[in-house]
Amino acid sequence: MENKMTVTLTMDEGTTALLQRVAEGLERMHDQNGTNSAAVNNTQAYQTTVNNSLVSETAVPSTAAPQPTVQPVQAAPVPPVAPQPVAQPTIPTTERTYALDDLARAGASLMDTGKSGEAMALLGQFGIQTLTQLPPERYGEYATALRGLGAKI
């Protein structure tokens, strides 16, 4: 004699897919372990998805304890949750400051590499004739221009 139990659950597609993956994983574990009780070895399970409902029928040998009757349960719809923005940590930065000597060394290195004409033209672009005429608030801008010409600063 064989007892039969039918359970019908109505759920959304995501939950149905999740349960299917769990069932497949359990089946793979069952196949890999090979150490199953006689009751489990004699169990036949059939699963079908119908209108987003997972229908499972399990035939249990008569040696198993009687199973209570389970009534269908309607799962409440779960509203989608919007992802919360992740706060990016603020990394404090400071602008590099340059001394007149740093700019002079970088300019001299350009002249040593044969770019004296470009170094002199850069002074003209900043509206100065000598480096000492450059306002300190423009040192960073000048250092960037020197770097653009190939200076290591």
53 Rama sector, left if φ>0, alpha if ψ -120 to 50, beta otherwise: beta
Helix/strand/coil percentages in the chain, nearest 5: 40, 20, 40
| Average pLDDT along the chain | 76
What is the pTM assigned to this prediction? 0.40
Nearest to 8 by CA among 65, 62, 69, 81: 69
* pLDDT tens-digit series, residues 113-128: 999 999 999 999 999 9
Please give the pLDDT value at position 136. Answer: 95
Residue 34 neighbours by CB under 8 Å, 6+ apart: none
In this model, does residue 151 exceed pLDDT 90?
yes
Beta strands in the chain (DSSP E): 2-10, 44-50, 53-61, 73-74
Lowest mean pLDDT among 9-23, 31-45, 59-73, 107-121: 31-45
In this model, does residue 41 exceed pLDDT 50?
no
In this model, does residue 58 exceed pLDDT 60?
no
